[in-house]
Structure 1
Amino acid sequence: MFTTLYAPPPIAPCVIALVVAAASTDLQCRRIPNILVAVGLVGALFTQCWLHEFPAGALAWLTGALVGLGLFLPLYLLRGMAAGDVKLLAMVGAWIGPPLVFYVALATCVIGGVWALALAARRGQVSKLFSATMFVLIHPTSRSVNPAPAESMGTMPYGVAIAAGTIAVLVGTAAQLEI
C-alpha cells in the first residue's frame, strides 16, 4: 500500500491543484466548498484504485481519508477549526495516505500557529489569544461556558495553512527523491 514517504507522480499535481483551489475560495469566501472536497475524494478513489488496483487502492483511499479526518476532528470538536478544514485534510489524506497526511497536518499546524501569532501580534491581541487558548485547554468539553462574542479573535482562512502545509510536504518529499 503506502511503503514510501512520497507521492507517486500523478498525485502531487492533483493534490496541489485541489488545495490551491480550496485555499483561494477560503480566502475569498471563508469557506471550502463541499463540491470541491467531494470531487477531490472521488478523484482520489479512482487514482488510488488505478495505482494499487481495486481492493488495495480502496483501502489506501479509506485509511488516508480516515487518518486525515481523525487528525483535525478534535480541533473541530473544540471549536478551533471549521468543518471544511477537517474535510479538506481528509481529502488530502485520501490522495497521499496516512504517513504523509500526518506530516501535512504537522506542517499545517506549525504554519497556522505562526500565522495566528502574527495576526494576533498585528492586531495587538496576543494576550487574548493566549487567554482563549488556555480557556479551551482547561475547559475542552464545556459547551455552556462560552467566551463573550466581543472576545472573539476573529477567523482565519485555515485552508491556506492546509494548502501551504500540503505543498511544503509534497515538495520536500519530492526533493528528497532527487538527492
Structure 2
Amino acid sequence: MQSATLATLVGPITIGIVTIAAAIDLDRRRIPNWLTFGAWLAALPMQAAIHGMTTGSLAWLYGWLAGLAILLPFYLLRGMAAGDVKLMAAVGAWLGAGMVPKIALATWLIGGVWALALILFTGQARATLSRVGHMLLSMAVQHRAAPTQREARTSAGSLPYGVAIAAGTLAMLFAGT
C-alpha cells in the first residue's frame, strides 16, 4: 500500500481505538493496558510506513510523548486515572504531536461541561464548591496539592474520562484540523 493510502487509515483506526476505550471505560471504569499499549505499539509501523522509518519513528515518539506530557500532571495530582493518560499518549502516537494540544483542549472543554452538568443534575453544586474551597484553602495554608485520604473519599464522584478523550478526538478529527 502507498503511504498516502495508509495515511487515510490513521483517522478511522484512531476512531476505533478511542471508541473501544470509551465503551470499556463506561462499562468497567478503567481503560485496559492491552488497548492503550497495543494502540501505541501498532502506531509505530503505521507511522514508519507513511513517513519512512526515521521520520515515522520520531513522529510516533513525539506524538506519544506529547500525549503523555499533556495529561500526566493531572494524574500526578490525582485528578485523573493512568488509563486516561495512556490513552491520550496512544492517540498522540497515531495522530502526531501537533494534534495533541487541540484534542486536549476539546477534551477538557467536553469533560468540564459534562462534569458541571453532572454536578448540577445530581444536586452536588454546593457540596462541590465547599470541597473546592476547602482544598484551595488547604493548599494555600499547608502548601500541599494532593487531598488526604478522608478528603478523597468525600468526592462528588468521577467521570469515565476515556469518553471525554474519545469525544475530543472525534471532534478534532471531524473538525478537519
Which residue number corresponds to residue 166 of structure 2?
163
Shift of 1:9: 1.1
| Correspondence 1:51-62 to 2 at 5 A | 51-62=50-61
Change (3 A) 1:58 1:132: farther
CA distance in 2, matches of 1:164, 1:38: 20
Shift of 1:142: 3.7
CA distance in 2, matches of 1:35, 1:58: 21
Change (3 A) 1:42 1:137: farther
CA-to-aligned-CA distance 1:15-36 (integer Å, 9 cap, x gap): 0000000000000000001000
Q: Partner amino acid for 2:157?
A: G
Aligned residues: 168
Shift of 1:153: 1.0
Check conservation: 2:66, 2:92, Cα contact below 8 A.
Answer: yes
Which residue number corresponds to residue 3 of structure 2?
none
Check conservation: 1:49, 1:56, Cα contact below 8 A.
Answer: yes
Unaligned stretches of 5+ in structure 2? 1-6
Change (3 A) 1:149 1:52: closer
CA-to-aligned-CA distance 1:28-52 (integer Å, 9 cap, x gap): 0000010001110111111101101
CA distance in 2, matches of 1:144, 1:106: 25
Q: Does 1:151 align with 2:154?
A: yes
Which residue number corresponds to residue 14 of structure 2?
15
Check conservation: 2:111, 2:161, Cα contact below 8 A.
Answer: yes
Q: Partner amino acid for 2:118?
A: L
SS in 2 for 1:68: helix
**Backbone CA RMSD of aligned residues:** 2.0
Unaligned stretches of 5+ in structure 1? 1-7, 175-179
| Correspondence 1:11-160 to 2 at 5 A | 11-134=10-133, 139=139, 141-143=144-146, 145-160=148-163
CA radius of gyration, larger in: 2
Check conservation: 2:78, 2:146, Cα contact below 8 A.
Answer: no
Shift of 1:121: 0.4
TM (norm. structure 1) is 0.86
TM (norm. structure 2) is 0.87
Change (3 A) 1:62 1:141: farther
